[in-house]
């Protein structure tokens, strides 16, 4: 039995507040004619299908990197680093990234494929000549499916996987597992054919406004044209409350990333010197100083870790690698 997430229930209630809303399940009691979409909007000029991302692919990511880490040419990485930055160090990194993306996006591709079929079948059953097809894709809590990569994937699917049957004009991506600034992302991704609906732009803009109003939330419109430009954070990374010293040091570095102008070898040298300055004070029999006096050295090391993580730096050659 599939558990209905609270976000899914909330969206179902929201869907019936949209102009001209009809529930297709109530309209068509029988499924004899095949699977169909969920909602009709705007006097049956819009067909909407709701899909919820449920399967967390993080275990697939972890198992992939566990296996790759056995290779002799696998880089030595400190901290959390984006997968593509780690794999870029491998001679077959592009191919490994392609395979990993396939694993991660399998549920997204499945949701798109099913939605395409259901929207097209709804047009046939209800004899709707043409309608704007919307896939509303909800991500309640899966942080490993970030809206930037999911958005890129559904954009690709819209353009490459509908040659046999064009049905999905728009993917409306709603994530409550991530933040862009202080807001949860509501991203509308349009296919090439959406311009055939002159009213489409205003209607799609109104959906984000309606969703924000329904959730009693303010709406912030971003100026980014590319998904990759969005300042995305996982929900678990969003800081609330007083910062720890390390969090403050990292924030200070992000405000003034002075190591960014250096090449990789110079950054490694900075890191090597930073840990060399610190290690005597944490070695048995070494000199002792109050911890507060060591904080400037610890902050320099933290700055190094922040820069190394940002660029996916291979630590080989620092004297710290295995």
Per-residue pLDDT tens over the stretch 260-310? 999 999 999 999 999 999 999 988 888 888 888 999 999 999 999 999 999
Q: What is the pLDDT of residue 225?
A: 58
Q: What is the pLDDT of residue 11?
A: 97
CA 278 to the chain's CA centroid:
37
Rounded distance between C-alpha atoms, residue 168 and residue 160, angstroms: 12
Q: Return the DSSP state at 140.
A: S
Q: What is the pLDDT of residue 98?
A: 92
Q: What is the pLDDT of residue 223?
A: 55
pLDDT, tens digit, 9 for 90 and up, residues 114-136: 999 999 999 999 999 899 999 99
Unique residue bearing structure tokens 């610190």: 278
Rounded distance between C-alpha atoms, residue 10 and residue 134, angstroms: 18
Backbone angles phi, psi at 58, to 5 degrees: -60, -35
Q: Which tokens go with 63?
A: 């198992």
Q: What are the beta bridge partners of residue 46?
A: 41, 132
Neighbours of 304 (CB within 10 A): 23
Backbone angles phi, psi at 179, to 5 degrees: -130, 145
Rounded distance between C-alpha atoms, residue 134 and residue 116, angstroms: 9
Q: What is the pLDDT of residue 228?
A: 61
The pTM score is 0.81
Rounded distance between C-alpha atoms, residue 15 and residue 48, angstroms: 9
Q: What is the largest CA-CA distance in the chain?
A: 84
pLDDT digit string (tens) for the chain, length 322 residues: 556 789 999 999 999 999 999 999 998 876 677 899 999 999 999 999 999 999 888 899 999 999 999 999 999 998 888 899 999 999 999 999 999 999 999 999 999 999 999 999 999 999 998 999 999 999 999 998 989 899 999 999 999 999 888 999 999 999 999 888 778 889 999 999 999 999 999 999 999 999 999 998 877 776 555 556 667 788 877 767 788 999 999 999 999 999 999 999 999 999 999 999 999 998 888 888 888 899 999 999 999 999 999 999 998 866 544 3
As to burial, measured by CB atoms within 10 angstroms (0-12 exposed, 13-18 middle, 19+ buried), residue 132 is buried
Q: Return the DSSP state at 145.
A: S
Q: Where are the beta strands (DSSP E) in the chain?
A: 22-23, 39-41, 46-52, 132-139, 170-175, 178-180, 186-190, 232-234
| Angle between helix 264-278 and helix 291-311 axes, rounded to 10 deg | 160
Rounded distance between C-alpha atoms, residue 215 and residue 211, angstroms: 6
- Percent of residues, the chain, with pLDDT higher than 90: 69
CA 206 to the chain's CA centroid:
23
């Amino acid at each position: 039995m599939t558990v209905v997430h609270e976000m899914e229930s909330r969206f179902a209630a929201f869907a019936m507040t949209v102009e001209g809303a009809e529930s297709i399940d109530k309209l068509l009691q029988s499924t004899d004619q095949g699977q169909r979409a969920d909602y009709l909007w705007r006097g049956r000029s819009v067909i909407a299908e709701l899909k919820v991302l449920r399967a967390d692919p993080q275990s697939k990511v972890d198992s992939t990197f566990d296996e790759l880490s056995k290779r002799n040419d696998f880089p030595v990485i400190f901290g959390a680093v984006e997968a593509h930055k780690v794999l870029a160090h491998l001679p077959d990194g592009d191919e490994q990234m392609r395979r990993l993306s396939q694993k991660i996006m399998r549920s997204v591709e499945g949701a798109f494929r099913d939605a395409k079929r259901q929207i097209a079948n709804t047009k046939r059953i209800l004899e709707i000549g043409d309608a704007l097809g919307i896939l509303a894709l909800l991500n309640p809590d899966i942080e490993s499916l970030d809206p930037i990569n999911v958005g890129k994937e559904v954009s690709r699917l819209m353009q490459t996987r509908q040659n046999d049957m064009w049905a999905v004009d728009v993917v409306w991506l709603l994530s409550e597992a991530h933040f862009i600034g202080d807001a949860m992302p509501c991203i509308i991704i349009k296919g090439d054919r959406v311009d055939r609906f002159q009213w489409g732009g205003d209607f799609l803009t109104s959906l984000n406004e309606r969703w924000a109003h329904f959730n009693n939330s303010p709406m912030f419109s971003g100026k980014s044209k590319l998904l990759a430009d969005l300042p995305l954070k996982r929900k678990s990374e969003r800081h609330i409350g007083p910062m720890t010293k390390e969090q403050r040091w990292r924030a200070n570095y992000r405000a003034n990333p002075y190591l960014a102008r250096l090449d990789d070898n110079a950054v490694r040298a900075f890191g090597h010197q930073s840990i060399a300055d610190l290690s005597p004070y944490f070695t048995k029999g070494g000199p002792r100083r109050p911890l507060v006096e060591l904080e400037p050295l610890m902050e320099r090391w933290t700055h190094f870790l922040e820069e190394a993580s940002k660029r996916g730096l291979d630590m080989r050659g620092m004297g710290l690698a295995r």
